[in-house]
Chain A
Amino acid sequence: MDSALKALRQAQVDWRMLLMGGVLVAIALSFNVMTGGIFLSAENLYNIAQQTAVVGIVATVVVLIIVARHIDLSVGSVMGFVGVLVAYLMYSKGWAWPAAALAGLAVAIAVSVYQGSLTALLGVPSFVVTLGGLMSFRGAAFLVADGKTQPVTDPFFLRLGGGYDGAIGVTASWMLAALLCVAVAFGVINKRRMQHRFGVPSNPVWLDGLMAGVPIVIVLGFVAAMNAYQIPNKDAPQGIPIPVLIWAAVALGLSFIVRRTRFGRYVFAMGGNPDAAALVGIPVRRVTLMLFALLGVLITVAAVVSIARLNAGTNSLGTGMELLVIAAAVIGGTALAGGSGSIVGSVLGALIMQSLDSGMLLLDVSIGSRMVIIGQVLIAAVVFDVLYRKWTGEG
């Protein structure tokens, strides 16, 4: 028993993440009881996953922005601007969707790097720069098409937003799940082998087994749920919705960047101690600019998914999204003081918020009460964060 505890302590088990997962499960089970089994039905889970994707995609990268001691209040407005622009180029200018999306990408990167460079090169607080951006780019979203809604009709493009044809089907879903499970298992085995080779101590087998087993069970459970949902007038179940697939790919990609690349490590170092980062020779400005460029890329991805989901680009697209995104990051354990946060946390944070909203909707809670409750949950998450840091001595 003692050795098990010791192993757990040294294994860098992320207790906060486990607890958040527990909270999500508790929320889901409670709502399921209260709604008489509707909450955990395949249809509802499918909808929650699909509805969370846009906020989830942007939240993954906003975690890194906050970790680096910056903030971006303009993500909703920039997404609206880029979304309308892409829809406008397709509908009013007749561009093919890849060309329109690339143009949107270029504009999003330009906007993000412009705001990032004011922060990185001139030291203007990102709060102020992006507060200005929040207003300007909402205006720009109006100017692009003179406030007119731009319908999106390309059938392939629409699939990116999910919906009726926007899922990959049963077979592809299972194959993807199998691939992911093999990758997780292989990753853990490979890690143990390399640790052995370098003489670095490994976790006990049962712990590594658990660390591989839990994600595998989650993936299989999720795919089983998505494959159980069939739209009544279709002849096959849906499988994984494409926006969720995009979100998963983004989250995996960013987790890889955080854990395995210099860039990711520098972002955390800059957030932990900006002075030290500069003194040891980290190119702080360049890393900050790259970070904002990455934000631009993912805002474009989110813009494409959301106009595909709404079948149109409107000038109100993404209004208020910055708050949801920051809330998802914070509920997911990202400290606004910088230096700590995780991509998985943002995924859990976004899911917790959407689950609360969806569950209360099923229970016919009014919009006013829902906003009151979700706002207080955000505060509870921050209170917990403060207490957790006190207990663990994270200062």
Chain B
Amino acid sequence: MTTTTPSSPGKAPLVAMRNISKAFGGVHAVENASVNLHPGEVVALLGHNGAGKSTLMKMLAGAYPIDAGEVLIRGSKAHIRTPADAQALGIETIYQTLALADNLDSVANLFLGRELLTPWRTLDDLRMDAEARKVFARLNKNFTNHRVPVRRLSGGQRQTVAISRALYFNASILIMDEPCAALGPEETRMVGELIKQLKAEGVGIFLISHDMHDVFDLSDRLAVMKNGSMVGTYNTADVTEDEVLGMIILGKQPEGKTQAERVNG
């Protein structure tokens, strides 16, 4: 994994989403929104429910087709039409719903859509089992019941399975949609540690969160959306919590603060 310092100038961003729009029927879910992400950077996406942040991220993840605008990955134009396209570009997503098939066990869920196969094109269950054990152990030592349907697992264990997907498949771009919403304090701390660790490895992370504490603790920059449009993007260190709340609630840019879109690193 390449480690690029976040401030190296002249480098194309890891992700550049430019003038993205998306409508569902007559509702403009996302309108002309732009955002960048650099290696080793955490960009928090903020906004009310329905502000368009999840929709914007789902377009990057290939879950929704993009109506207008373009996505550049590492400087070159990307055509993301399906989740498989996004995965091929190193984009992994941890959905708020976790996107787990409750009737399958955690090993099957970890590899869902990307199963390891034997030379005879059949499922290589034992190799998947062995690989999964390693990843799960890295995240959660107490998690050993890999062979029961995930519906019987605790919230933290389910989260472990969802996060393991991103780890196992070596994401270089990670989208985390409310990763701590269903977690207890101990598990929330674990996710925070993980984000810092991945960041140090050069992974770029989009973090959707409603928790101001998480946002200020973990993010380098924050981008606020309202009614489908981007209100503004700032270095997290430059703004106060009140200013951020003002952007979220009123769509008002804080006075005297410079935006930080970081188009060129």
Q: Which of B87-143 contact A (CB under 8 A)?
A: 87, 93, 95, 97-104, 108, 112-115, 117, 121-123, 126-127, 129-130, 133
Residue A200 at the chain B interface, CB threshold 8 Å? yes
Contacts of A262 in B (CB 8 A): 115, 117, 123
Q: Is the CB of A281 within 8 A of B82?
A: yes
Interface string of A322-343 (1 = CB under 8 A from B): 0000000000000000011000
Residue A41 at the chain B interface, CB threshold 8 Å? no
Residues of B with Cβ closer than 8 Å to A?
A: 61-63, 82-84, 87, 93, 95, 97-104, 108, 112-115, 117, 121-123, 126-127, 129-130, 133, 147, 149, 151-152, 165
Give the interface segment out of A110-118, A135-143, A265-273: A265-273
Give the interface segment out of A166-174, A191-199, A234-242: A191-199
Tell me, in angstroms, the Cα distance from A199 to B132 when the chains sit together: 12
Contacts of B82 in A (CB 8 A): 281
Residue A1 at the chain B interface, CB threshold 8 Å? no
Measured CB to CB, the nearest residue on chain A to B88 is: A281
Q: Is the CB of A279 within 8 A of B95?
A: yes
Q: Is the CB of B108 within 8 A of A281?
A: no
Interface residue range, chain A: 20 to 34
B115 to chain A, nearest CB (A): 5
Residue A395 at the chain B interface, CB threshold 8 Å? yes
Residues of A with Cβ closer than 8 Å to B?
A: 10, 12, 194-195, 197-200, 259-262, 265-266, 268-269, 271-273, 275-283, 339-340, 393-395
Measured CB to CB, the nearest residue on chain B to A195 is: B126
A311 to chain B, nearest CB (A): 40
Contacts of A272 in B (CB 8 A): 101-104
Q: Which of A273, A275, A281, A339 contacts B113 (CB 8 A)?
A: A281
Q: Is the CB of B103 within 8 A of A276?
A: no
Q: Is the CB of B147 within 8 A of A278?
A: no
Of B97, B103, B104, B149, most buried by chain A (CB within 10 Å of CB) is B103
Given contact pairs A279-B99, A281-B83, A200 touches B104 in the complex (Cβ within 8 A): no
Q: Is the CB of A281 within 8 A of B122?
A: no
Q: Is the CB of B63 within 8 A of A278?
A: yes
Measured CB to CB, the nearest residue on chain A to B61 is: A279
Q: Is the CB of A280 within 8 A of B117?
A: no
Contacts of B112 in A (CB 8 A): 265, 269, 276-277, 280, 282
Q: Is the CB of B122 within 8 A of A276?
A: no
Known pairs A261-B122, A275-B97, A339-B103. 5 more at Cβ < 8 A?
A198-B127, A269-B103, A276-B99, A279-B93, A281-B84
Given contact pairs A265-B108, A282-B112, A277 touches B101 in the complex (Cβ within 8 A): yes
